[in-house]
Amino acid sequence: MPQEKHILVVDDEPGIQDFVQRNLELRSFKVSLAANGLEALALFEKHNFALVILDIMMPRMDGLEVCRRIRQSSTVPIIILTALGEDADKIAALEQGADDYLTKPFSIGELMARIKAVLRRNHWADHPISMGTRRFGNLEIDFEQRRAWKDSTLVKLSPTEFDLLQELALHPGKIFTHEALLRRVWGAEYRSESEYLRVYIGRLRRKLEANPSQPAHILTEPGIGYYMVG
């Protein structure tokens, strides 16, 4: 692999920094390190990163706030590092726009699997589907430009958010099971990670529906999955 993918690793534990940096550089990634959120944001402003690996518990500014600030201007993939068993942190991270999470302690195999999956999903954005534009009431979706509009106003979507919307919109009325959507959007290794889907459906509804609590376009089939209507 050519040394072209630059990864920002943000963690206040030197041991974690060293472990991740050493293993990524062995695999021809370029790595920048930050020990807290403020350092991370300063580096993020200076470089064009392919991925951010971000610990939650840090001094000066925690990872959730860093994630929120990055998402204000960028859709760069973000993997959050969480403490073992902190499910609330995982959900909060996804709500702030993280693409994935990894629970400490983790192996290099687990880390590389998550990195490959996130970069793979982001790479799909470089190969848009030639399906033109479709309308769903007040929504307009351009699959080639990978853009969506609500009431003629452009809606900012992350690559994963658009992938999920695209899967539903290309098959209007088709009910996708949770497992099928997870497999098709995130990958086969995520087919049991239901919290990803629940959070991302909620994010799409907040961005695209007039009333997210009573959606008109992205609907739930109780106990089965989701589907999209006009």
9 band by pLDDT with thresholds 50, 70 and 90? very high
Q: Which amino acid is at 209?
A: E
Q: Which amino acid is at 11?
A: D
Dig out the tokens for 151 from the structure: 């009431």
Q: Rounded to an integer, what is the distance from CA 100 to the centroid of its chain? A: 6
Encode pLDDT of 34-63 as tens digits: 999 999 999 999 999 999 999 999 888 999
N-terminal to C-terminal alpha carbon distance within the chain: 44
The full DSSP string for 4-20 is T-EEEEE-S-HHHHHHH
Q: Which amino acid is at 179?
A: E
Nearest to 168 by CA among 144, 134, 194, 191: 134
Starting at the edge strand found earlier in the chain, the sheet holding 147-150 runs: 133-136, 139-142, 147-150, 153-155
Encode pLDDT of 107-142 as tens digits: 999 999 999 988 887 775 555 566 789 999 999 999
Distance CA 204, CA 226 (A): 12
Question: What are the two backbone dihedrals, phi and then psi, of residue 227, each rounded to the nearest 5 degrees?
Answer: -150, 170
Strands 139-142 and 147-150: what pairing? antiparallel
Domains of the chain: 6-124 (3.40.50.2300), 133-228 (1.10.10.10)
pLDDT at 126: 57
Encode pLDDT of 137-191 as tens digits: 999 999 988 899 999 999 999 888 999 999 999 999 999 999 999 999 998 888 8
Give the number of other CB atoms < 10 A from CB of residue 40: 28
Helix (H, G, I), strand (E, B) or coil at 136: strand
